[in-house]
């Protein structure tokens, strides 16, 4: 049986650990600075009250998903080994989106379908140093080697070329959403587990 508790993940420079309630201020600052949630960005995490609820749900989810024998989804803290400073957030999270719009699976365009999403955000102070890629690679390895997921996806806005660069360096196949909405779904990266990948990966992304 697959272990339902995500272990502490470590890379050369990073620790990827569960978020804690006391991380609220640091996480809020990261989301404000890295993703622009304070200037008209996503409504989901805007405001300290909403973030506190999100963090509480995340922390409780670590335990509750395990109790249900579900994989350990949810976001994690990205921490520097050298200083223990929290510099980012990453995670494997359920992603519900109109994936048929980019030819993923059999869903009709506009229909909402679930995928396992890869999320990563690093504070601007620590960007351009490879930390987002390093954290994402650790999560992808865990998703494929331990959870045996068939694929993971990542999505981003049109104005985030840095996120697309991480997707490409992960080896993802990128697809452009032909429709203008939703804003967070303008680019979609798809990465198949080599163990389960189709002979021709493009077969899974139909034009």
pLDDT in tens, 16-41: 999 999 999 999 888 888 876 554 44
> What is the topology classification, in CATH, of domain 9-198?
Aminopeptidase (3.40.630)
Measure the CA–CA gap between 116 and 88, rounded to whole angstroms. 20
78 pLDDT band, cuts 50/70/90, is very high
Residue 51: the pLDDT is: 83
Contact (Cβ atoms closer than 8 angstroms) between residue 62 and residue 74: yes
Percent of residues, the chain, with pLDDT higher than 70: 81
CA angle 164, 166, 168 (to 5 degrees): 70
Q: What is the pTM of this model?
A: 0.84
Considering only CA atoms, give the Rg of the chain.
Answer: 17
**Residue ranges covered by each domain of the chain:** 9-198
82-106 in b/e form (b: 16+ CB < 10 A) is eeeebbbbbbbeebebbbbbbbbee
């Amino acid at each position: 049986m697959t272990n339902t508790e995500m272990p502490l993940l470590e890379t050369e420079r990073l620790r990827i650990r569960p978020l804690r309630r006391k991380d609220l201020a640091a996480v809020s600052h990261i989301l404000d600075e890295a993703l622009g949630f304070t200037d008209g960005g996503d409504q989901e995490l805007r405001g300290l009250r909403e973030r506190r609820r999100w963090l509480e749900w995340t922390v409780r989810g670590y335990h509750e998903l395990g109790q249900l024998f579900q994989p350990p989804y949810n976001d994690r803290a990205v921490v520097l080994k050298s200083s223990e400073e929290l510099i980012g957030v990453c995670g494997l999270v359920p992603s519900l989106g109109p994936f048929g719009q980019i030819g993923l699976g059999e869903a009709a365009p506009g229909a909402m379908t679930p995928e396992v999403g890869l999320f990563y955000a690093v504070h601007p102070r620590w960007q351009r140093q490879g930390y987002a890629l390093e954290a994402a690679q650790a999560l992808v390895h865990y998703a494929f080697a331990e959870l045996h997921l068939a694929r993971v996806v990542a999505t981003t806005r049109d104005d985030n070329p840095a996120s697309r660069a991480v997707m490409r360096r992960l080896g993802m196949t990128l697809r452009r959403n032909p429709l203008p909405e939703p804003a967070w779904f303008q680019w979609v990266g798809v990465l198949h587990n080599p163990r389960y990948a189709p002979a021709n990966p493009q077969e899974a992304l139909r034009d």
